[in-house]
Structure 1
Amino acid sequence: MRNPYPFRLLALASASALLLTACGGDDDPLPVAEETRAQDSRTAFAPAEPTATTFAAMANGTAETDGTSRWAGVLNGAAYRVEVPANWNGKLVMYAHGYAGTGNALGVSNPSIRRHLLMNGYAWAASSYSKNYYDVRVGVEDTNALALEFTKIATANSRPLTAPTKLYIIGHSMGGHIAGAAVEDETFATARNKVRYNGAVPMCGVMGDTELFDYLGAAQITAQALAGKAQTPIAEWATIKDQVTAALFTTFPSVPTATGLKYRSVMQNLTGGPRPMFDIGFAGAYTGVVWGTFGGDGTVNGIFNKPAVDTNRFVYKIDGDTAGSDALNAAALKLTAAPDFNRLRTDGLRWVPKVNGEFKVPVVTLHTLGDMYVPFSMQQIYRTRTQAKGNGNWLVQRAIRGVAHCDFTVQEQAEAFDAMVTWETTGTPPAGDDVMTAATVAAPTYGCNFTRNTTGIDDSAAIVDARGKLSVGAPCTQ
């Protein structure tokens, strides 16, 4: 039968060729048009404060923080906040928040370094994104759209402003993934809302993009295998959860059994290798958060249509137990992702945008050493990818002696942001940490260079408590 749409197919082929050329993705399948997935049918998302036009000034304010222009609204279904100090320096910082769960209410988060930004003349803006779930694609697009709308929003609020002279992006957790992806060449080539950022600070970020899901899968299948439940399908986790937990922990997660000590060793090597703070982090609440991710169908709650988890690359290691390691590797299930689960698309970004290491602007990252949810190994993956692309000179990484996910002090974050801006301004890279040399990472003082346990008025009570304990229980003794 004669094709009734020859020109449409020709246009699609041309677009595919353009994407492959722009992204350098000669190892990728050809881009495809959007098919429907569960995330696309979720249409009940709505801003938590749909009529807001402003928001509160900072507590414990000063003249610099009280006298700001503060605008709120809704853009393309996403709520937003914009704040501009009276003495604006002409630079705009976009803030990307972390994973907000699977509810329908869309909320905006202020940057934790808000006071620091305003005191130094920076404007900032943040989007709620127009959807929840792990939708990094929407996070990038909505953050970029807000950046492009900045001057229009200012004019509509009777404070006309010139276009920003510099655009920076910072973010936490999933927002760190968004910040890292936002400066990638592939993102600029394929995004609908195109923004060239001058620098980025991804914090506790998912810098290995979909490799995070591989790690979480490996965490489940090794727990099952060590507990004698190796062949139970991962989707049946609920039927064996209590048995596995009892086999590995006397008290979950703080007191492991003898078998649980083997699991702790496996997890240490999955999350970045021997290093300070790991034992404290493993015994903490975020091991429970990891446990809570087990049992999924591999589609990341409908972000993908096909299984995204692949554990074939892992070689599990129980330190000091070669026979036990061999037995574990032989017994553990092998999870294989569909080869095209996150392929290039003709209609915008991938469903989960890649962090390929293809960027040429200053990027400074922060990551806590004891993070079990988004582990320190994400930084090692990011370094490996960036070096492979020849862009390692654009990446500086800093290890922080925290034991939970994103538990940075404000000072640590402000110093990282200032370091990135100074680098972007002067061309001189700041100091960072070696995240790849095992002996360096394992040293008792690793992470001391950029850890700042002194807290201030913008640090949460949880951070104040945690850092007070760590400064006594795990001090730096350089």
Structure 2
Amino acid sequence: MRRLLSVALSFLLVFTATQPASADRGGQPLPGYTIANPPLAPATVGGRPTRVLQGVHSHAGYVIEVPPRWNGRLAMWAHGYRGTGKVLTVDTPSYGLRQQWLDEGYAWAASSYYSNAYDVRAGVTTTRELATLFGRLVQRPDKVFLAGVSMGGHVIARSLEQYPGFYAGALPMCGVVGDHELFDYFLSFHLAAQAVTGIRAHPFPADYQTAVVPRIRQALAGDDEQFRAVVAELSGGARPASDAAHVYWQDFLFGLVGASTSTNLAENPQLVASNLSTRYRPNSPVDVNGTVDRVRAANPVARATWALTEIPAVQGLPTAPVVSLHGIGDMFVPFKMEQHYRDDTARFGRTGLLVQRAIRTVDHCEFSPAEAGDAWRDLTTWVDRGKRPAGDDVRKTDDPRFGCRFSDRTATGGTRALFPAC
């Protein structure tokens, strides 16, 4: 029955996929936006310069780079959250991947997307349309891969479901592969703090950040043991350096949520957030589950739909091999995202297409070139030879050595010192 449902869902997604634009090439940004895409200097491969193409397509800025000896393959880079500004920019691939791809013979391309804010739909469609444009400007690639970070991970996970068969493999890093659950987590962080302290403030008042949050934080200053443990569970379970990660992230997380009257989903993702099914642990000394405010999604249609919206669902139906990297102490896009994605893929019998690797870092998207580069090589070898690479069991976070296996032991700086030596 599970297999039949999986096939049915795949069939549905194929025939409801948003197709790349053909009539309107979108040579200008959408009203209200401007594009900043300064000339990118070509890289050097084997003593020869690359070919760089830049322009506007599908209302988005883009960069394409092709090495002197192209292997016929294309890597698409999906950038993360940009904020709500109106200037569109294009990222070059991070962690040394740009040069690695070129040295290996891969071309790469990246889109600014046609909008900012939390607009995954923009990322999914413009990335796909840019890959099609590459075929017209250069040559149709033999295989197309995806790689990206943060919100770009959400773009990647949904792209694999939106366009089954188009992408050959994917490398999401620090990705929002748990879709709506990210915003549930932000909501629960605040509601759990209110329940533990007894300071209720939902719906969030206009002065929530200036008047209420300081009171909550003052109340927690004396004893936040239960709250820390609740947040650890919400973000992925007890794991190495979770206390240090809490200290590192708490200021930021307390500043994330507040009153908003916007009905624009991309600008106000709180509209899809809910904690109706969330179970908080530990549940003592304060009975959080019995006292916490339960919140329904303000936009239940957007939360329930399978359509490609600004914040779309990820069903757990990857259609190509995926190698996913995530910092275990990341509490902005928490490690819990990987557990959600693993559970989703298990529901449809797709875990064979998913390899996940835990990295011992706390900052968001904090990876070394070796960590990203090794994952990329393992992904492409998997695609080419069919040998699934090794990964971590993301459910076994309480092992003191969790995250050691794939972390770069030569990497220094950043937050790596917060972890005991492996």
TM-score interval for Structure 1 and Structure 2 normalised by the shorter chain: 0.7 to 0.9
Which residue is equivalent to 2:85? 103
1:431 is matched with which residue: 382, 390, 395? 390
CA distance in 2, matches of 1:66, 1:102: 39
Structure 1, unaligned runs of 5 or more: 1-17, 26-41, 155-161, 190-194, 250-256, 456-463
Residue 177 of structure 1 aligns with an amino acid whose one-letter code is H
1:89 and 2:71 aligned:
yes
Q: 1:316 to 1:19 in 2, by over 3 A?
A: closer
Residue 413 of structure 2 aligns with an amino acid whose one-letter code is D
Which residue is equivalent to 1:474? 420
Which residue is equivalent to 1:149? 133
Which residue is equivalent to 2:400? 444
Identity of aligned residues (%): 37
Cα offset, 1:128, TM superposition: 0.5
1:357 and 2:316 aligned:
yes
CA distance in 1, matches of 2:302, 2:188: 18
1:134 is matched with which residue: 111, 118, 123? 118
RMSD between aligned residues: 2.5
Which residue is equivalent to 1:330? 290
Q: Is the 8 A contact 2:190 2:254 kept in 1?
A: yes
Q: Is the 8 A contact 2:149 2:172 kept in 1?
A: yes
Which residue is equivalent to 2:23? none
Q: Is the 8 A contact 1:46 1:77 kept in 2?
A: no
Q: How high is the TM-score relative to the length of structure 1?
A: 0.77
Q: 1:225 to 1:301 in 2, by over 3 A?
A: farther
TM alignment of 1:195-344, pairs within 5 A: 196-236=166-206, 237-238=208-209, 239-249=211-221, 257-258=222-223, 260-284=224-248, 286-297=249-260, 302-303=265-266, 307-318=271-282, 322-325=283-286, 327-337=287-297, 338-344=299-305
Cα offset, 1:427, TM superposition: 0.7
- After superposition, the C-alpha distances for 1:217-246 in whole angstroms (9 at most, x for unaligned) are 000111122222125422442330111122
Residue 294 of structure 1 aligns with an amino acid whose one-letter code is V
Which residue is equivalent to 1:6? none
Residue 111 of structure 2 aligns with an amino acid whose one-letter code is S
Q: Is the 8 A contact 2:302 2:309 kept in 1?
A: no
Q: Is the 8 A contact 1:64 1:85 kept in 2?
A: no
Pair member with larger Rg: 1
CA distance in 1, matches of 2:227, 2:263: 24
Cα offset, 1:283, TM superposition: 1.3
Residue 103 of structure 2 aligns with an amino acid whose one-letter code is M
Which residue is equivalent to 1:43? 31
Cα offset, 1:468, TM superposition: 6.1
CA distance in 1, matches of 2:250, 2:122: 28
Cα offset, 1:294, TM superposition: 1.2
TM alignment of 1:152-171, pairs within 5 A: 152-154=136-138, 162-171=139-148
Cα offset, 1:404, TM superposition: 1.2
1:454 is matched with which residue: 396, 410, 415? 410
SS of the aligned residue for 1:183 comes to helix
Q: Is the 8 A contact 2:62 2:109 kept in 1?
A: yes
Report how many residues are paired.
395
- After superposition, the C-alpha distances for 1:278-337 in whole angstroms (9 at most, x for unaligned) are 2222111x333322221144978633799311101111113xxx5424x22222111111
Residue 311 of structure 1 aligns with an amino acid whose one-letter code is N
